[in-house]
Structure 1
């Protein structure tokens, strides 16, 4: 978020926490991009603040409760506040347990946690609002097709990304297959806590083959996910990389250092295509 919006987010989180009887003397900004993560002290609660439609935030809270009940390794909503997305002006605020850091995670820890997440998700009925993975890819395709939305993307790179996103594995393009997925279980959404590895940011949940999720993890994790189709995971990794690279060229993208990341990922895509 931009500085004025960040100040509004902090004020909104303070206001809601105070109305719930939580003591707030300090606010630490943990992350600020399209959404803001704030640690409120001394009550020690994590607030996630986003602008726009609150339904996505509410879906995340509802899914978190269902997945915790199913035994999935996900962060819990804070029990001291109501299990809902709070509204403050045009902002949606959700409340989460703050976890102390644990030991660094190995590739094996990562793979086993992702496998546990998927096994638990199989017992959770996906809400109707959860999209298919193909819908997420289509959102990137629309950005590539509309030069007004991606005005700074060079033609050569636009053509490359369009080609990669047009070559979907059949297993990924099948809307009738797959299961509930995290959607973006990359390393930034996996916390190493004293309670073990826990996934966060469930707003990205979608449906599809587990290999779509596995493609967001480092390649070293592949061998620690029993039963995965590793060839499909590699093909999905190329599609996922093209998708997130396209998002970095969105004129409204707020990810810090996004264009530098886009350049790095484009180089990775070219390397992966050359290797075959």
Structure 2
């Protein structure tokens, strides 16, 4: 066999090779508490679950349980930046029956900018009462359920969500205390609830994709929505309409309010008051 043919056979055998699977093991990642802003980045493949809550005495206390040794997290720290990386060797894929479950706890005493990218991410994120200075989320398939049941305790600069092909549900958006919200629905469905306490005016760019999008606007939350229409359908109830602009009852720009740019693509968008 010629050398070129030999290398082709080897490459074919290696490409798509399954990663080794063994007994499930826990791996811990800890970031000590600090008064300085901490930037925490996660770079992950497919995850069975990735939950985020408060309650940590550290800036972050995280545990991942996986039965794939290649998924043991690698932690890189540079100043106040911590990168947590899971990456399979080139050409390897996850075997059937693999597990990869994350439990992440953040501390309320440390301001944190959280940045998470993953090909598939499921889980529940309960983020109320923390000091989130920023939140960036990019997923390829499933997105977590994010909710702010109580107000964020620091001013958030930006909250950016790239929802990919999965469903994305975010509740308590007025509790986030963000300056700017950007959500891209891509091929998945969106459910955005703007409930909560609005401490300051905020802007939002929302791009509906080919999936359905639902925006819940409580009567107590002042809002102005400017619509850019595509070929999709748009239904808005409970707001006053003037051309392509919709405002809540008694809207006053001098008071804290949401200013939302809503782009309708191919999907259906429904904007309605809270039930």
Instruction: Please give the range of the TM-score, normalised by the shorter of the 2 chains.
Output: under 0.3
More relative contact order, 1 or 2 (CA 8 Å, 6+ apart): 1
> Which structure shows the bigger proportion of residues in strand conformation?
2
The structure whose Rg is larger is 2
TM-score (norm 1): 0.25
- Which is helix-richer, 1 or 2? 1
Q: TM-score, normalised by structure 2?
A: 0.25
